[in-house]
Amino acid sequence: MMNSPRTVAFSKNATNVFFHILTACNLRCRHCYINPSQQGAEALDINTITAWLNAFAAKKNLPNVIFLGGEPTLHPELPLAVKHARRLGYQSITIDTNGYLFHDILHRLNPDDVDFFSFSLDGATPGVNDSLRGDGAYHACLKGIRQAVSRGFHTSLIYTVSSANLHELEKMPELLADLGIRRFFIQVVGIRGKLAQTAASEPDRINQVSPDQWLREVPAVAQKAAMMGISVTYPRVFLKTGEPFECAGRVADNYFIFPNGRVYQCPLCEDYPLHSKILENNRLISTPGINEADLFKLDIPEGCVMNRIIQPGNIRYLSDGSPEYRIACCLLKEEIYGG
């Protein structure tokens, strides 16, 4: 029997903390969204990490935390941060990793300490993955996944779809099944960080895929994975005619935190000083002046205002000047359960 995808509604009742504890990384991915000049180049010390975790634990809903970098396992005190979040009662704890798993992390944490290790892989073969993420990244990631699975950790995998790797997405369900991964996140490459600094005219520039390509390939692969028992989450990207548009910045409770203290509510704003909050003296406060929250209020025919500003090349217009389709919030997801 086929499973149907369901749209995950935004909710103020779930708080999600995307915590970049450093921006350093051992890899140099061509599509890396990290921008140290805007987000800070330093690694946070453990006292600051625990203080910031405390600040979010005081919110009405106990949050979910996703530890990110750079490569978060490069931080030698990540296990202390994870255990502190657990003590504070965070609902779920995830570590996003490129798979290199530094500082013996799998032996300094137990499967009860962390809900998921989420591995980033952008190709079903070394040829495609390593052309994006660097030589050796494919085998290192698969080795890390196998070690994590064999030590009893729950694992998931993130595949960032672009013009450079859409053709290998269909091979991913078999690879995931072989690795023992039951949770699959498909993402859209963002024109931010390194890609925003690469001229669109460069011949090997990575691009987003067209609406037609996305709609032809991605839901079908998600369906195939679900039939194999793998649960899949993927962004909606384009809204159907008449479907209401919502901006997560207005109706959800998400925080994207960086080492320099900037806190964004929209990930597309992270290349600019548009953060609506900042951590000062370990307290979360609103920033004055024009910021992302002012953009969230704008109703435009294209849907997401940040897409209109930073990725206008993605929007096609009809002869009367109206957009051919509306862009959904990048945080609006479809979910399809495996089994």
Given 109, 257, 266, 315, the residue binding ligand SF4 (CB under 6 A)? 266
Size of site (CB under 6 A) for ligand SF4: 25
Residue 96 has, within 13 A of its CA and on its CB side, a CA count of 21
Q: Which H or E run includes 59?
A: none
Whichever of 16 and 226 has its CB closer to ligand SF4, that residue is 16
Name the token pair of 147: 């070690």
Please choose, from the candidates 123, 142, 124, 143, the residue with its C-alpha nearest in 3D space to the C-alpha of residue 133: 123
The least distance separating ligand SF4 from the CB of residue 99, rounded to whole angstroms, comes to 9
Rule CB under 6 A: which of 161-190 touch ligand SF4?
A: none
Q: Find out whether 336 and 222 touch, Cβ atoms under 8 Å.
A: yes
Please choose, from the candidates 15, 2, 93, the residue with its C-alpha nearest in 3D space to the C-alpha of residue 265: 15
Is 132 near ligand SF4 (CB under 6 A)? no
The least distance separating ligand SF4 from the CB of residue 25, rounded to whole angstroms, comes to 3
For strand 333-336 and strand 231-235, is the pairing parallel, antiparallel, or unpaired? antiparallel
Whichever of 34 and 78 has its CB closer to ligand SF4, that residue is 34
Is 191 near ligand SF4 (CB under 6 A)? no
* Cα–Cα distance measured from residue 294 to residue 113, given in angstroms and rounded to the nearest whole number: 38
The least distance separating ligand SF4 from the CB of residue 69, rounded to whole angstroms, comes to 5
Is 278 near ligand SF4 (CB under 6 A)? no
The least distance separating ligand SF4 from the CB of residue 33, rounded to whole angstroms, comes to 7
The least distance separating ligand SF4 from the CB of residue 170, rounded to whole angstroms, comes to 23
Is 71 near ligand SF4 (CB under 6 A)? yes
Is 263 near ligand SF4 (CB under 6 A)? no
Q: Find out whether 181 and 156 touch, Cβ atoms under 8 Å.
A: yes
Q: Which H or E run includes 156?
A: strand 155-161
* Cα–Cα distance measured from residue 95 to residue 252, given in angstroms and rounded to the nearest whole number: 22
Residues of 184-201 as b/e, b for ≥16 C-beta within 10 angstroms? Answer: bbbbbbbbbbbbeeeeee
Given 3, 8, 14, 32, the residue binding ligand SF4 (CB under 6 A)? 32
Whichever of 69 and 261 has its CB closer to ligand SF4, that residue is 69
Given 17, 101, 237, 268, the residue binding ligand SF4 (CB under 6 A)? 268
Establish whether the linkage from the previous residue to 70 is cis, with ω within 30° of 0: yes
Given the rule CB under 6 A, which residues bind ligand SF4?
Answer: 25, 27-29, 32, 34, 69-71, 98, 120, 133, 247-249, 266, 268, 295-296, 304-306, 329-331
